[in-house]
Every structure is written in structure tokens, then in C-alpha cells.
Chain A
Amino acid sequence: MPKPPTPLPATSSGTASSGTASSGTGSPEDASSGVGAGTRPTQPAQRPRVLSVEDLGVRLGGRQVLSDVSFHLCEGEVAGLIGSNGAGKTTLLRAVLGLTPVSSGRVSVAGGRGRHQAVGYVPQKVVLDADLPVRARDLVQLGQDGHRWGLPLPSAAKRAATEELLAGVGALHLADARVGQLSGGELQRVLVAHALAGRPRLLLLDEPLANLDLHSARDTVALLDCIARQQGIAVLMSTHDVNPLLGVMDRVVYLAGGRAATGSTDDVVRSDVLSSLYGHHVDVLHAHGRVIVSVGDDSHSDDGCDAVPASAGVLVGGPVHRGAGAR
């Protein structure tokens, strides 16, 4: 795949203070401040970098899924990984986890410890049988020692740690419930506790808001923001809708066509930047504090079907998601 025709913008001016490997050699005018909505006030001093992705490329089954993706995350930052279905969000997360082999570039996670120790992961879809004899506290405990050999020994310290983790996500009352009988939002919290149990420095979540109603989605975002701020964990979550994350994101990684635009919300979610990413004109509209990205494929833009997520035409950030795209 050829290089992007136009240079993509660099990371946000506030956080990318040191000369970073993540810069895509952005043109200076792109990095100027955008419209007022979106990114929360940039943090002051630089903090230790937790994740660096440099010129990442991934080929799967002979297809180039990702190319030249660069960004980085610091301690306590929240980043949104935005893109339509099939844009490569899950592939990127799996590459960061080390579950998908990288064909070019580099992914490094801070800390000399192994990748699995430093990264917590909440997959998009965990289907559990209702009769699974595993309680929420068992699942969280497996987050601490699920990779260890041998039988687990009862330990008061582990039990206390488990309950603390469950309390931290507001799910202590679910400790003795079977995991297969939790609702979507409840299971999400328990899975976050499971992921945090390994004391990670980086938390990855694949579409954590996909199956939640508006209220639960807001709660989940608030919870993740709180975890990032209080525990200094970097959070990277994928979503196809940028709106629920407005106001908490320090950084956006916007994926389209296997390439990425990264930076602050105001720097990335803009008509000119997304147009160059998609390779054709993209409108970014601001209405009532929400962002609407209208990606009209040239060939389909006239027929009024540009919101159907089948082809390149995807409505990101619209209040209503149609059809399979939202499920």
C-alpha cells in the first residue's frame, strides 16, 4: 500500500511535548487549536510514556490491515480508538497485546515486565454460559493468577485484593453472582476489574460501549476516566462513536482505510484531516455539543445512503446508529 498522499497531523501540541517517535510529520497549521468542543484541558508536565506505537503495519491473511500507524500514550491518559467496522480497531488492540504478529514497525509497552503483565484487556464480546460455575470474584481472582500453574491456595490477602478491585468498579455486590448471569453492564464492570487485577499500566478495551444503553455507557466512560486519573493507568478504548468520549479523551486515534490520524480531538476530528485520511471529502459538523462525522463515499454520496455502514460511508457520532453497525 502506498504512503498516505498527504501528511497526517502530529500528536496534540500539549501532550507531545518531547520530540516523539509518534509524530507523523504533521503540517504545522493542522496542530493549531480547533473548535472549542472535545478534548479536556491538557495535562501539565509530561508524564512517563506507557505505550509507543511506531510505524505499525499488520498483514492478515494476505491483506494489509494496518499501515504506518504511530501514536503514544502516557500514564493516566485516556485515548479513543475511533473507526468504522472493519477499520482495524480490534487488530490494533491485539497487536498491542502481542496476540497478532506485527509485520512492520514497533509496539513497545513501558516497563521491563512482560507484555501480559503490563496490559489489561477487555474483549468486545465475552459469551458466557449461564451455568458456568464461576463467580465474579473467581473471575477477578483469575485476573490476578489465571496464568499460574498449580492449584490456587486460599489466601486472605488475595480475597481482600479481589474485593477491593470489585469495589473499585462498583461491583462488590455482584461478587458471588455467577458471571454467566450478569447483565451486559455488570459483566463489563467485572471484566474491567479482571483486567485491572494484573496491576497493568495500560488498559485496552474493545468496544466497551457497544452493547450498553446510553446511561450505562456514560457510567462506563466515567469509571474508566476515574481509573485513569486515580491510578495513573493509560486507557485505550475502541469505539465507532466519538461522542461518548468527548470531554474525557486526551487523544484520538482515528482509523480509516488501515491508516491513522492521531492527536487531540480538535486536531483530528476536523473536515480537512479526516478528508485526507479517507481520501475524499468528509464533513465534520458540530451540533448541540455533539460531533457528527459524515463520510460520504463519492460514488454513493448522492443517493442519501451515505449513513449505511456497509461501504466506506459511515456516520460516526450520529445520535442513532442504523442496522448492524450499532450491534
Chain B
Amino acid sequence: MDERDRKPYVYRLRGLTIGVMLIITILGINIWNLQISQGAYYAAEAKGNYMKLVKVPPTRGDIVDKNGNILVTSVPEFVLNLDWLDLQQSKTSDWKEVVKRLAGYIKPYWPYPNQSVESITEDILVMTQNHQWERYQPVMVLDNVPQDLQAIIAEHQNELPGVSVDAVPLRSYPQKTLAGQLLGYVREIGDKEIAEFNQNEDAQKASFEYAQGDMIGKMGVEKSYDFWLRGKEGIKQVEIDNRARPVSKQLIQPPEPGMTVQLTIDADLQKVVEESLDQVIANVQKNTNPDAKSGAAVVMDVNTGKILAMASRPGMDPNDLTGIISDSMFDKYYTNKIAPAASLNRALSGLYAPGSTFKMVTAIAAFQLQLTTPDEQIDGKKSSLGNLAAQQQGTSEWGGNDFGLVNLSRALAKSSNIYFQVMGRRVFDTNPEVVRQIANEFGLGVVSGVNLPGEAKGIAPSAEWKKAYFGPTYIKARDKKLADIEADYATKLEQAPDVKSRQKLQAKKDAEKNAVEFEYKQKVYENVNWKLYDSFNNSIGQGYNSYTPLQLANYTATLVNGGKRYTLYVVDKLLNPITGEVFRQYYPKVINSVSVSPDNLDAVKQGMRAVVTGTGDDAGTAAGIFADLPEFTGGAKTGTAQLGNINTALGKSYNGVFVAFAPYDKPQIAFAGVVEFGESGGSTAGYVAKAAFMKYFGWESTNGN
């Protein structure tokens, strides 16, 4: 090939050179783009590939009573873990051998006793297999490892690389049923609860978000203080390979244990109240009503709003609800099959008719409207209620008694129905709303603000309330019937052949509409309008009245502390679990002061004193209870709340209700208690109050009871 022949090829080969260099340049520019321009992005992606952040669970905080006694704590449960990283870093070449050896040691402790070592080995391998995209986390092979197995594992540690017995915190309630419903229990969060818990203000402030798999408090203090109890998760950084096997690990943020929550509850007092309640219920069950199985009681500080004891029966042991819940456990705690559901905190969420314990409200209303004075005497005869028609709507004195002429003090002492019905009639005839207003001022029918989930609000009735509550149903029914008539006649009228038949139809339609209107008015008169019997029932705490024991206690406290309604609270402070420093202290807070004059409050207080004093004809309804306690100077009020209408099955069943305070001068504590089917408050809940006072003040009975 000579030079002239060669020329075109050289020319074209120069083109090839340019093409090749172009390819190299394009590749180089692209690499520049990846490594330099977007290098940070890719570096982050690559890092996310192999760096996994693993949560390290913190220890949940303790719950202690006002004296520091532990009510809830976390105890170590021992689990057997298999850690891939340690297994791989060991010298043993065949880690399956390690698993097989391990299977041999744990065989006697394996949940399925008839399994062979081979099949246990297989099971463990399957566990690790199922775990393969999370190999950076240890696999739990066995929980609840007993001490002798721990010893065996420790002894053979050098031939079992990667196998460890680790302590994981397990929630424990060492006092069993003591204040069970108040404390609550801990379980895994439910899907629907995630949003609810993320509403928590403290959690939001800390930008903490609840997520699936979190363990949370399901009720009680465990729930309302969950955010503070749970602590902060630590973070462990684990480097993994493409099969998610850990290569190295490092704790980059240690977990912070949860706060210690100190309650206002006095565990000793709580215990006395619960035991007394159990005893009273057992007595009622044995002697009067076999259905009596439940009740509730509250003891509170009248000058702060602190709850000192809050008991609900049947009792709940939170330990029963932390693990697998059996069918019988489920029935016990969540259904009424065996007994009334034990998980219900009746002091907080149970609504009860107050019965005669409501009578102080009626009296105060009458004083407020200046419809009576404490000295006015009413003849305790049914004729005092008015004419025969009125008498038929009222209630006689209890037990067919005749208390003669009664003033306020005697009326309370004897629990005169006639006196309070007379006062009630006057009050409702003057202003049907005022009883409700006063009840609300004393915390009845309004939430107490106690920081516990599931508080019931109750009902303080009035004419307006009754109208708003029952009215809409009848209006709706009437409107529907009227609309039906209109629709029915619209076509009929259209199809009518002549004017005459049309007029006839029109008349028929009007008649039907009038009938509906009439029926409505009748129904409203009967069921919606405030009636005299409503006034009578309401005056003595029957009818629509329903309150929680917590509200009744707060009402009593407000009556005797000078008329200040405090926010109720069960948590006194949050403490740093390590240093013991106070992180947050809760202080008493007055929600409202009542609009009742001190003289009137005093008159009522004196009347409550009369309930627990006197002898013979002057003896109060609860005088007998406290007869052997000379140091007792407080007051009380008994209540016997009829459960249903006289004509229904429950008509002859009564709850025993009791409220009390002590001492008389400068009262310190208030009590409210209910014993379901307890017949009378004096003979049941009254004894719980007595036990609580004896414990709180250190009194002793003069006859050794």
C-alpha cells in the first residue's frame, strides 16, 4: 500500500480516533457527574445501604405511692438470644454445630417437650431464617429462661459463641390488685390507638411519634402518663452486609429510662379501703343480696384535690393483662359473665344515682332562692307534699317512719324524704335550672379534670336538660309522620277526580295531621316536660341523677372546705429515676368557688354532723357507725339509691351510697363510696369510710372493732 492509497484510510481512522475519544470523554463526564456533582447523594444512599439504626428500648419508669412505695416497676425477664455477629466472629467454623449444641442444652426447657434435638435445631434455624433481613438484631430463641438453664448456658459459654442470656424489662405490679384499675397495664399499641396517642401534647412537644409495635399503657396512670413513663429509646448503629448480617455495632445514643411517677395515693390507705370494701361486699353477699359483687370508694384531701385512695371492686390484677389473655381472664375483666367486669374503674367511670346524698344540693338551692331558712320546720307527713294528686307523685318517708316536725338539721340526720321533696318542689317551681347549676358548681355532672382516661361525666338534670335529652326523639318521630302524610296525600290529591272528592281528601289529611300533632303534644307532656314527680325524685337524688364516686367525693370536699372546687389529681410529681430530682410537680388548682354563702354551707355542714351524732329519737342515720370512735368529729350523709322503677326487676334493689368528711373543724379528708346492691349506705359504704378515717387519723375503736 503506498502513501496515496493509504491517505483515505488514515483520514477515516482519524475519525475513529475522534469517535473513541468522544466515548471516553462521555464516560468520564458521566462519572464526574456521579462522583463529584451528585457524590453526596450517592454517598448517603450507599451509607443507608449498610448502616442500620436499631432502637434500644428504655426501661419504663416506676409508679410509686405518696410515700415512695413501689406500685409498678420493671423487673428483668431472662431471654435466650442468638446474636449473628458474635456467632460469625467466633472461631467455630460451623455455626450450625453451635445451634445444634444449644438445642441439646435447651431441650428440657423447650415449650414442646416431645421435640427431638434435631427438630429443635431445625426450629432455631427457621427462626434465624425468618429473621434474615434483620440479622443485625439478635434472635430471641427462648423467653422466661429459668435459673438452672442460665447456669448451664454460662457454664458452656465458650462452646456457645453468640448465645447469650439477656435481661429484658418486664412490667410488674408487685402489689397485685392494689389500685389495679387506677394503675392500668401495658400492652402493644393497637392500630387505632396510634393516632390517639399521637394527640398527646407532651409527645407532640417532644416531636415523639408513636408507631406500630410500641408498648403503651392501656388504661389508668400507665396510659395518661405513658409519654413520661416510657423514657427515650436509644439508638444502636449496626453495619450490615448485603444479606443483612451484622458486621459491627455501636451504641450511638444510650436509652433514657422513663420518669418515676409519684402518685398522691397512699398505698396503705388504699389497702385498708380495698380490704374494707371487700369485707362489706362479702357481708352483703352473704346476708342480704347474693348479687352484690361490686363497689367503689374514693378518699381525697379536701384542701388540695389530691386523691388519697381510689378503689374499685371487683379488683383487677394488671399482671393478668400483660401477657397472653386467656378466655376466662377475658370474661373476668371485660364482660359481666362471671361477675361485673373487673377492668372497669367504678370510682372513675361508674355512674350511680346518689340517692339521699344529693339532699344537701336541694337544701342549698332552697337557701339560695330564699325559699326557706335552716330553722323552718316541715311536718313530715305526706300531706305536706300538697294535694292528693301531688302526694301520689311523691315518696313517703323511708321505712314508713314519721319524724314529726323536721328542720334542716333533723331532715339531714333522719334523711327525711318529705322535707327535701317540699324544698325541691319550691325550688323547681321557682327556677327549674338552679339545682343543676348548684350541682355543677360542686362538681356533680361535670368532669373533675382528673388526669385519668375514661372519666364519666354523669347527669345533673333540670327542665332544660330533660327537654334537650328527650325532646328530639319525639320531634323527629312527629316530623317523619307528618312528612309521610304529605307524601301519601300528594299523589292521592292529584289523582282525585273532582273538586268535591279533593275537598274530602283534604279534610281527611288535616284530620290525620291534627292527630299526629295531638299525639306529639301528649308525648311531650308525658315524657319531655318537667313534671312534679321529676321535682320530687330529683330532690332526693333519684330520677335522672347519676354521678361517679369521684364526683361525690369532690362534692363533699367542696361542701366542707369553704366552697372551693379543686381539680382532682392522682399524680403528685414526676421524678428523675436516677437522681431522684423532681422534674415536674403538680399543684392544687381551684376550678371554681361556689356561689353559696358561708352561712348556708355551714348550716349544711352542721346537718351532716347531725347524721353521725345523737341518740334515741335524735340519732342520725349513721350515728351507730361512729359510736365507738370518740375522736371522730366529722359529718356524713347516707344514701339508699333505688336502682330502677318500682315496677321493674331492679325496683326493689338499692345501692348503698355514703359520703363523709373529717374532722369537723378544718376538715382534711372526704370520702365517697358505693356498694352495689348494698341496700343502705349507712350499713355498707359507711363502714368503708370508718375504716379509711381510722387508718388516716390513726384512731382506734373503743370496743376493739
Bound together: no
Give B contacts to A, CB under 8 Å.
none
